[in-house]
Chain A
Amino acid sequence: MKSRLTACLASLLVLCSLLLGFGQFQSVQAAKHEPTLKIGMEANYPPYNWTQTTAAHGAAPIDGSKQFANGYDVQIAKIIGRHLHRRVVVEKTQWDGLLPALTSGKIDLIIAGMSPTADRRKVINFSQPYRKSTFVIIVNKASKFATAKGLNDFSGARLTAQQGTLHYDLIKQLRGAKRENAMTDFSAMRQSLQSGTIDGYVAEDIEYESYHRVNKNIVAINLSRMKGFKVAKSDAITSIGVKKRNTTLLRQTNRILATISAAKRVALMNAAVRQQPRAGDSQTKQEKHENLFVKIMNQYGGMILSGVGMTLLLALVGTIVGFVIGLLVGIVRTIPTPTTRSKRILLRIVKWLLSVYVEIFRGTPMMVQAAVIYYGIAQLWHINLNRTVAALLIVSINTGAYLAEVIRGGITATPQGQFEAASAIGMSHSQKMWHIILPQAIRNCLPSITNEFIVNIKDTSVLSIISVSELFFVGTTVASQTFEFFPTYFIISVIYLILTFSITRIFNLIERRLAGPKNYDLMGNQLQVGLMESEIQHDDKN
């Protein structure tokens, strides 16, 4: 029974790695011997930066994946890299993760269309600008705000901008506008504008240029030229972020930027606008009628499958390791009070520490834990954890905290008589636990463990905060490249459903196996049984 379980888990693991392999359809051929220049960007903010599946148009590889990043930022980065004789590698990082990634030394430079605001300057240094921007509000052509001329013309408009950016603060200058919740990326804003949940969003002129290429139904209202519009000079420019202490790199960067002429910059930006991914890319009229789902699967199937592999791997390893952690914690927390004083004190301290662990990890969102652990370890101890390793660690520790309580509950729910019978035989505490109590407790906990596994499959999606390429992260990337939000997320949700559904079935099967056969075979034949019984009756009469 046990070996069957092991075999089952082993084959799941193999499946994970096979699926992960699907992502490896292209290999990085850059010279391995050059030192790397690690550039942080979202790779999801065209035309500054975006993700693509090929190395076309001089794209740079994205670390930890088989994908590439390209765009204005990447081209600037490559110029800097060439001068420094360092190979450019893109660290795909969410917007809010860029500053911590830089300060913790996970990346060398932020080249992500970022403005050197006063707040950011407190934390990091910025180079000379590599682009000057104009601010606009993008609205639908048909909207009543399309003709707005001044700051007072936006009364009642539902506006938004990217989370953590200056753009979002600019909305405050538009009297009477309703500031909706900030969004994480431009794909989401475009989608919201299209579906009418917002009236417009604040962005740079370049976002308009790019979006207008794929959606002719929008207009941009120039904010920068409006009377009374105030923006700090540092906010209207885009610079490269460098770690405070790293003054050498800052000097080098400025020197190199100075060599790029204004004309060259415009040319690079125009090329980026042309090359950026857009809806209907490589599509003819007929192809449009082709099933979108089939199209997405054909083009991005490998990427999605590798996302499935990563999600499965995270959930599986996380649940197994978490189970082991939970088991150990659960056992320690149910050790009876020892007789000697010193042991009693030691045990109390250990139990206290463990309950702190459980409380902390059950009491905070996994997303926050991921950010704290991933960036914290790098910042405090200068250990650069691999993303996947960090993700596995986080899921395991988190699951451990939940399962510790579940298993403790299972242990306490085991009838007292089982403990007593084992004690009466002379078993030690650990013998009682391993042979009698835990097998019963675990079997009773199995539904909760299954549940935790399923929760893990879904909740590992929050690990996109540290840019692990699990299913949801891949989905977001695909959606932002194809602009086919509904079909992409629909495919992703169907995959999640298939995963959770099959896991439930598998675990039900395991549960039934653990329960053992419903019937037992009598040893020998019925006649013998009859004899036994009658023998006892017979003795009784004597």
Chain B
Amino acid sequence: MTKTKPILSLQHLQKQFGQHQVLKDISFDIQQGEIMTIIGPSGGGKSTTLRCINLLEKPTAGKICFHGENILDPGYQLNRYRAKVGMVFQQFNLFINKNVLENCTIGPELVLKKSPEEAKATARANLKLVGMSPYLDAKPNQLSGGQQQRVAIARAISMDPELLLFDEPTSALDPEMVNEVLTVMKKLAATGLTMIIVTHELTFAKEVSDQIAFISGGVVAEAGTPAVMLEHPKLEATRKFLRHFNA
């Protein structure tokens, strides 16, 4: 892979909730088109890292550079940035007052100012990609968890994001639904979209990732290619964590 300017670069990111220093020093770069997986023990700060990246939480120190510009600088167009960085939540968070199609068109119409026709066409195509075409009229609470998560993915990609964040997209799902979501994500990976994925699905991570980061205790304890990270991790903590899954 040619080393160009990273699309996103975290530099010594810190986050404190009251007295509790949750993120101590998170730094990593991600290149255009790369897929990065974040693993690590519960409470290690994975979700907080993702939430800082799209500013659902405000970092207390450090830099988040998007195309080389620090988004934390005053005056940076935050809503425009957020529109370019999509997020898929563990709990789906579909808009419950909108049906499937509307969930995917509202962002493009309101934020990207697309015409309703154009927004609908894109949404239809994306819903087709995630296999949810038949359910355009359904309301979120009429769908299974796996179906909701696939709509959430379609909603995110309808914004035509440059970067897509996933926070444990399959851990709220029954086992038989996990695969339908992972399949969709693999399809996306193949399109060259830049993604950061927090997951415990190691087989999946190994298959799609360009790099894997192990976040624990608020720092990136170790990072590297899947082959290195999953087969020959340097740290004992990483090995211990992995043993859990391979057992």
- Write the residues of chain A forming the contact surface with B, with a CB cutoff of 8 angstroms: 415, 417-418, 420-428, 431, 435-436, 439-440, 443, 516, 519-524, 528-529, 532-533, 535-537, 539-540
Contact = CB atoms under 8 A, between A and B. Distances in A.
Given A421-B93, A425-B107, A520 B99 contact: yes
Given A422-B95, A440-B96, A440-B97, A427 B79 contact: yes
B66 interface: no
B95 A421 contact: yes
B134 A529 contact: yes
Interface in B64-120: 79-87, 89, 91-99, 106-107, 110-111
B105 to A, nearest CB: 11
Most buried by A among B79, B86, B111, B134: B134
B193 interface: no
A519 B94 CA distance: 18
7 contacts: A423-B82, A424-B82, A426-B80, A426-B84, A427-B111, A431-B110, A536-B183
Given A426-B159, A435-B110, A520-B99, A420 B56 contact: yes
Nearest to A535: B131
A428 B91 contact: no
Contacts of A443: 97
Interface in B25-56: 54-56
A540 B183 contact: yes
B184 interface: yes
B94 A539 contact: no
Interface string B149-173: 0000001000100000000000000
Nearest to B106: A435
Contact of A425 (B55, B111, B131, B182): B111
A517 B82 CA distance: 33
A533 B182 CA distance: 14
B174 interface: no
- Give 4 closest A-B pairs by Cβ, nearest first: A426-B83, A417-B93, A421-B93, A426-B82
Interface of B: 54-56, 79-87, 89, 91-99, 106-107, 110-111, 131, 133-139, 142, 155, 159, 179-180, 182-184, 186-187
B133 A532 contact: yes
Nearest to A525: B134
A540 B204 CA distance: 11
B111 A520 contact: no
B89 to A, nearest CB: 6
Contacts, number: 104
B91 to A, nearest CB: 6
Nearest to A424: B87
Nearest to B51: A420
Contacts of B82: 423-426
A439 B79 CA distance: 22
Contacts of B86: 424-425
Nearest to A435: B106
A539 B133 CA distance: 17
Nearest to A526: B134
B107 A427 contact: yes
B79 A426 contact: yes
Nearest to A420: B56
Contacts of A533: 131, 180
Most chain-B CB neighbours within 10 Å: which of A426, A535, A539?
A426
A536 B54 contact: no
A468 B155 CA distance: 54
A520 B135 contact: yes
Given A427-B110, A523-B135, A436 B56 contact: no
Contact of B54 (A424, A435, A528, A537): A424
Contact of B89 (A420, A439, A535, A537): A420
Contact of B186 (A436, A532, A539): A539
A436 B95 contact: yes
A520 B138 contact: yes
A516 B139 contact: yes
Contacts of A537: 179-180, 183
Contact of A421 (B79, B94, B99, B183): B94
A532 B134 contact: yes
A21 B179 CA distance: 68
Given A426-B79, A427-B110, A420 B95 contact: no
Contacts of A528: 133-134
Most buried by B among A415, A529, A539: A539
Nearest to A529: B134
A520 B89 CA distance: 25
B89 A417 contact: yes
Contacts of A440: 96-97
Nearest to A538: B183
Nearest to A442: B97
A536 B94 contact: no
B182 to A, nearest CB: 7
Given A421-B95, A425-B111, A539-B183, 20 more contacts: A417-B89, A417-B91, A417-B93, A418-B95, A424-B56, A424-B89, A425-B106, A426-B82, A426-B107, A427-B111, A431-B110, A435-B110, A436-B95, A436-B106, A520-B139, A520-B142, A521-B137, A536-B131, A536-B179, A536-B183
